[in-house]
Structure 1
Amino acid sequence: MKKIILLFTLFSLYANSFAQKIEYDTKSNIQYYNVAVNKSDNYINERCILDIYYPKNTKNFATIIWFHGGGLTGGSKEIPEDLKNKGFAIIGVNYRLSPKVKAEKAIEDAAAAIAWTFNNIANYGGDASQIFVSGHSAGGYLALMTGLDKKWLQKEGIDANKIAGLIPFSGQCITHFEIRRENGIPEKQPTIDTFAPLFHVRADAPPLLLITGDRELEMLGRYEENAYMARMMKLVGHTQTKLYELDGYGHGMTEPGFPLLVNEVNRILKEKQTKK
């Protein structure tokens, strides 16, 4: 027994020392539109920026794009602490907000930020085939819209199916309430149109992990929207859709959700490696 404990201790020390060798760097306020677009619009120039936190002495790492919440009317880019030091790059994205612009502009910006990542992550050492898209609430909605409705990324010359995985936290699956408000539709009037992720269910989408809080504590039927999304994705033939409901947690359920995000990223990376 003592030998086993000694070996385990030595292994732990080795693993910890290896982990400590990974160093991370952060680059802030990178503009993800090109110079001409930035010069043409002061709000884009001010708002459409991202931060990247990445392992600087490793190669071919995976990247998680994180879109902040705030109802498409507020919020600011962030690099979640619980995602740091996991061997991944994390990209926190700002996007334009309603009512200064129409809410759909946030989807355009999200697609532009994803395209920037595909086009630039190799410059930091990352692997463009290992880009995951996530976010909370409005950010989860943006992840779903850009990943399921292929037109947004097509405008940027990117195939949405190149995304390695979609992992929205409490994302709206019907038409976002801010878009409904802009069109005079009441907050509690469910609507499914082209601005609803549910409108774009398809069998060939990237792997999809939906995470919500407790159905009795969540915002306005958010769990049920995600449950309907999971069911419809499966019915159209999507074979990699999962839904997690975090019992006891309300809409602000990011902290218990982060380990699920990390596990899903690692699962998909392992699956990709096995197929090589």
Structure 2
Amino acid sequence: MKEIVVLLLLVSKVALAEPVYITQKNIAYYADTTGDAYRASQCRLDLYYPKGVKNFATVLWFHGGGITGGSKEIPKALTEKGFAVIGVGYRLSPNVKAPAYIEDAAAAIAWAFQHIEQYGGSNRLMFVSGHSAGGYLGMMVTLDKKYLQKYNIDANRIAALIPFSGQAITHFTIRQEHGIQDTQPIIDEYAPLYHVRLDAPPMLLITGDRELELLGRYEENAYLARMMKYVGHKQTHLFELQGFDHVGMAEPAFPLLVKLIQGRTKEITEKK
């Protein structure tokens, strides 16, 4: 009898065990990588996913670094949460200029839409996030629909956009590429604010403390949130993490991202 109880306990532990997570590294997300060594080396992604799980959500994570530095990463705070994480690498300035890195972000998102089902995921549950420059890239691809239209993907299929301290005006690196100082605000086709629209996916804009943030990052996001609401978008929310600067805000922002992914996943999967 004692042996049976022990066996049942072991079976229960196995049944309740967390899924095993697999990481596949350096997947090229452009179909053709010939003829451009820099694109071939930079335009790769790492895929971290729960093996044997069906219809899991996926968050595409774009690293920061001012579009001039950084490399693909899978943040520890997003691991073992029941969903996949895709860490995206992309080309950097000054090796390329806009819109090359925005196009890279779109190509990576398109790859996820086209391939995630092969790993067990659902392309109805695509979340786009990233810190600083990474947040900006996600904002551009989500709000300016032309980048994903190239792949016959409607940007509105993105489940939610959650940028961490993303730039809402034209990115300062793009301005520098045109000889414009970072203290000169510009809103043109390379500004998420330029593409405000009613039918965009749900958005959670997270920034650090307005007095500690980089330049006017909080105010830019506040303006974007205001304009989205002004055009009638009812699912834009702004969250200011008081007491945290531009870099430090990422750590307390991750739990907000995880909570949104879990809540939105439930909302979408329960829809008939």
1:267 is matched with which residue?
263
Q: Give a deviation string over 1:75-119, Cα, whole Å, max 9, x none.
A: 000000000000000000000000001032110000000000000
Q: How does 1:1-276 map to 2 (within 5 A)?
A: 20-35=17-32, 38-252=33-247, 253-276=249-272
Gapped regions of structure 1 (runs ≥ 5) = 1-13
Is the Cα–Cα contact under 8 Å of residues 214 and 250 in structure 1 kept in the other structure? yes
Q: Give a deviation string over 1:172-210, Cα, whole Å, max 9, x none.
A: 000000000111111101110000000000010000000
Query: Aligned equivalents of 2:102 and 2:65: distance in 1?
Result: 14
Return the offset for 1:57: 1.5
Instruction: For 2:82, give the aligned amino acid.
Output: G
Return the offset for 1:17: 6.5
Gapped regions of structure 2 (runs ≥ 5) = 1-10
Instruction: For 1:271, give the aligned amino acid.
Output: E
Is the Cα–Cα contact under 8 Å of residues 97 and 103 in structure 1 kept in the other structure? no
Instruction: For 1:54, give the aligned amino acid.
Output: Y
Return the offset for 1:155: 1.2
Identity rate of aligned residues, in percent?
Answer: 64
SS at match of 1:103: coil
The 1:185–1:129 alpha-carbon spacing in structure 2 relative to 1, beyond 3 Å, is: same
Over the aligned positions, Cα root-mean-square deviation in angstroms equals: 1.6
Query: Aligned equivalents of 1:135 and 1:196: distance in 2?
Result: 16
Query: Aligned equivalents of 2:99 and 2:12: distance in 1?
Result: 46
Q: TM-score, normalised by structure 1?
A: 0.92
SS at match of 1:20: coil
Instruction: For 1:52, give the aligned amino acid.
Output: L
Q: Give a deviation string over 1:126-176, Cα, whole Å, max 9, x none.
A: 000000000000000001000000001111221101100100000000000
Query: Aligned equivalents of 2:13 and 2:133: distance in 1?
Result: 36
Return the offset for 1:269: 1.3
SS at match of 1:212: strand
2:8 is matched with which residue?
none
1:5 is matched with which residue?
none
1:9 is matched with which residue?
none
Return the offset for 1:218: 0.2
Query: Aligned equivalents of 1:73 and 1:220: distance in 2?
Result: 17
* Comparing 195-204 and 180-189, the one that deviates more: 180-189
Instruction: For 1:28, give the aligned amino acid.
Output: K
Query: Aligned equivalents of 1:188 and 1:204: distance in 2?
Result: 31
Return the offset for 1:55: 0.2
